[in-house]
Amino acid sequence: MLNEHEAFKNEETIETDFKEKMTYSEYLGLDTLLNSHHPLSDHHDEMLFISVHHVSEIWMKQIIHEIQSATKDIEQDRLQEAFKKLARVSKIQVQLKNVWDVLSTLTPSEYMEFRDKLGSASGFQSFQNRIIEFSLGYKTEHVLHIYEKDPKLLEILQAAHDAPSIYDVSIQALKRAGLPIDEEVLNRDVSVSHRSNESVRQAWLTVYRNVDKYWELYELAEELVDVEDLFQQWRFRHMKTVERIIGFKKGTGGSGGVSYLKKVLDQYFFPELWEIRTIL
């Protein structure tokens, strides 16, 4: 342990002249980040509402970065590299899910003090959440109309919508490993959500019944299940937080609120990976 004199001497060695050098604040763009809160009411809790959604969007940006990179890795049979990125996604998803615990400290009465200020703005419009859904394989073309106000953003979303999902490239990896996959699956329109297929189900069953032979594909499957499991946990916490704060009212922007959020809990990105658990 340093005594007080030694600690003080060490403090003196820390550089303090940053006139010509980049600072922590400059590197992180904190001036932009910390000045991006623009409450529309005087209510104390609107700051929390904005912060929770800012944090969520920042984590979503990182998730997109990792999933898109992992998708390229799988396409090029670099599965080990993909595992690290997907494991990171799962860790981020835990943080994203826990954000709802913070927002749930907002009571219905408090939220109603500033809800009308949100106008038609709604979390349903989160374009990053759409990109994540598209990247995982849930393709919904009709939602693209929400973003027609911004042509550049719409172009980005359309590209993500039309690109192969991480599950599409994983199924292609099964084929390259010598497992039989129906041609209609391999050559399907990837701008449409994947539907459960018997050949894909049998391929994953073979992987799980021959773990030593197909270790990397087995690990890939488990990483994907982790991601989907945590995504559904995030959806559930979202739904319960909304129900706790506004009950079954319509969401801002006209979304279905809790009724819509309950509906999406039944959606699967990787259906065969869940179905085989009953068969094994």
Residue 175: CA atoms inside 13 Å, Cβ hemisphere, count?
A: 15
d(CA 11, CA 40): 43
243 has a pLDDT exceeding 70: yes
CATH class belonging to 42-279: mainly alpha
Per-residue pLDDT band for 59 (boundaries 50, 70, 90) equals: very high
Q: Each residue of 70-103: pLDDT tens digit? A: 999 999 999 999 999 999 999 999 999 999 999 9
Domain boundaries, the chain: 42-279
CA angle, corner 251, sides to 246 and 254, nearest 5? 155
Q: Each residue of 184-233: pLDDT tens digit? A: 999 999 999 999 999 999 999 999 999 999 999 999 999 999 999 999 99
For the question of whether the overall pTM of this predicted structure is more than 0.85, the answer is yes
Task: Specify the pLDDT at position 58.
Answer: 97
Per-residue DSSP letters for 144-207?
Answer: GGGGTT-HHHHHHHHHHHHSPPHHHHHHHHHHHTT----HHHHTS-TTS-----HHHHHHHHHH
